A and B are shown apart, each in its own frame.
Chain A
């Protein structure tokens, strides 16, 4: 169990949170323009890096707000947490 720092509530136990997968996956701006293949990539395909990974978490048992984090998938260490709408902090090796 590790402490995760909610950008609103501060450090709380991991079990208060739920994982939401890769961050910054935007809904297509012109959905009608997408090929079937592009749609498939939007729906099914996500990055799976071994290293820093920007992802979404929700503080379900606290403020119930979503936020973003960059977490190292090798060590599980949270390298940064930031609010939705804020820019992803610069972290060496991180995908964007």
Chain B
């Protein structure tokens, strides 16, 4: 796959590859599959890819109620990093980051993975201490991380306001140089094209409505024998639920309770600008995160809207607050025009860590609760879930995230321990 190269004087984005003429077939569902993956987002597609690539399993269907990767995969702000505090999170996100570093070659498709680094800002003395602690924890886990003072922060991102006369001055930041962004649509198309070539059926416009089951949850014999969809019933060997914000509505059909709550998460982009913002900046305290897309839009995200929702939109005051923070941190943004805003529906857990693994149905795996941060884990999760489906053994990177941690008395940490942004 060739990527055209921009020459001096070309507008930003001139080096984006052309869209290919053909990506995947649009097949009719077969009567049965060895593996049925519910949800054609990044996670479902990556799982299909590693089932093919690592395990040679190709009798697979990915069922998507809308269009391929039109859910959170198309709506996220594409930030990729692995500087999490919790060891278990650091391991799975770093596994993913290593895969991102070779994914373009693996998929033979441009994904525009750009390792431009991430600054996570500290605005209070406590932020500073927490940041230094996280840097040390990251280093012990072999993850690249540094703590920088305001002058060094300004060297990396000159448009950032590091003066001390703002409400939440920048006292410093953690820096992960290997963090980056990728073009989310291209990532999905790369996975989709690859698995389609191998014979996996990507079935769009196919909503999973219910499940056909046998056996009894009480004595451990429960199984799902088929999937009831808007395009008929499909028999299945194994099932992986990868429906992000909608996973709990599917588990409700199976009578399986999870501590998942679905919330709108909003993002927005500016008009196209000259390159001004060379890295990624995140601030949890004033809650904004920003990068500049390949074409030149400033891409910004907020925190989740507080209430539960499935409407793929959110409240205006959340955007307003986020914009106020952005303009204070980046005074040059005051003149940028907002082009569009949107929301995705993210599934949030009490400890801000995912819920992945077995369910009371022997042949059903759940993959959920990645909340506001699951784009970056796409290849890593796909790898681990495919391993689990193919071998029957939970991959060690996902084993800590089992649903039963909430009832076994395991230590269930709070948000801060996970080192997530929201």
Contact = CB atoms under 8 A, between A and B. Distances in A.
Q: Do A and B bind each other?
A: yes
A45 B308 CA distance: 14
A15 B315 CA distance: 9
Interface in B310-349: 310-311, 315-317
B412 A44 contact: yes
Interface of B: 246, 248-249, 252, 257-262, 306-311, 315-317, 350, 406-409, 412
State the majority secondary structure of interface residues on A: mixed
Interface in A27-86: 36-37, 40-41, 43-46, 48-50, 53, 55, 71, 73-76
A1 interface: yes
Contacts of B309: 73-74, 76
B261 A19 contact: no
Contacts of B248: 48
Contacts of A41: 257, 407
Nearest to B251: A48
Given A14-B317, A36-B409, A40-B407, A48 B260 contact: yes
Contacts of B249: 48-50
A88 B237 CA distance: 43
A24 interface: no
Given A48-B249, A76-B309, A14 B407 contact: no
A73 B406 contact: no
A19 B259 contact: no
A50 B262 CA distance: 9
Contacts of A74: 309-311
Most chain B Cβ neighbours within 10 Å, of A2, A19, A48: A48
Contact of B308 (A36, A37, A48, A75): A48
A1 B261 contact: no
* Category for how many chain A residues contact B: 20 to 34
State the majority secondary structure of interface residues on B: loop
B210 to A, nearest CB: 14
B312 to A, nearest CB: 10
B317 A1 contact: yes
Given A1-B316, A14-B317, A19 B257 contact: no
Contacts of B408: 36
A1 B252 CA distance: 30
Given A1-B315, A37-B407, A73-B311, 17 more contacts: A18-B306, A36-B409, A41-B257, A44-B350, A45-B259, A45-B406, A46-B259, A48-B248, A48-B249, A48-B308, A50-B249, A50-B262, A53-B308, A73-B309, A73-B310, A74-B311, A76-B307
Nearest to B316: A1
Contacts of B409: 36
27 contacts: A1-B315, A1-B316, A2-B315, A14-B317, A15-B315, A15-B317, A18-B306, A19-B307, A21-B261, A37-B407, A41-B407, A44-B259, A44-B350, A44-B406, A45-B257, A48-B252, A48-B308, A49-B249, A50-B249, A55-B307, A55-B308, A71-B307, A73-B262, A73-B310, A74-B310, A74-B311, A76-B311
A24 to B, nearest CB: 15
Contacts of B307: 19, 55, 71, 73, 76
Q: Which 7 A-B pairs have the closest CB atoms?
A: A19-B306, A40-B407, A44-B259, A15-B317, A48-B248, A19-B307, A37-B407
A45 B405 CA distance: 12
B261 A48 contact: yes
Contacts of A46: 259, 261
A33 B33 CA distance: 46
Contacts of A44: 259, 350, 406, 412
Given A1-B316, A41-B257, A48-B260, A36 B407 contact: yes
Most chain B Cβ neighbours within 10 Å, of A2, A46, A55: A46
B258 A45 contact: yes
A18 B307 CA distance: 9
A53 to B, nearest CB: 6
A50 B252 CA distance: 11
A48 B262 contact: yes
Nearest to B409: A36
Nearest to B349: A44
Contacts of A40: 406-407
Contacts of A37: 407
A28 to B, nearest CB: 15
Nearest to B264: A76
Contacts of B315: 1-2, 14-15
Nearest to A44: B259
Contacts of A55: 307-308
B393 to A, nearest CB: 26
A15 B321 CA distance: 11
B19 to A, nearest CB: 33
Nearest to A57: B307
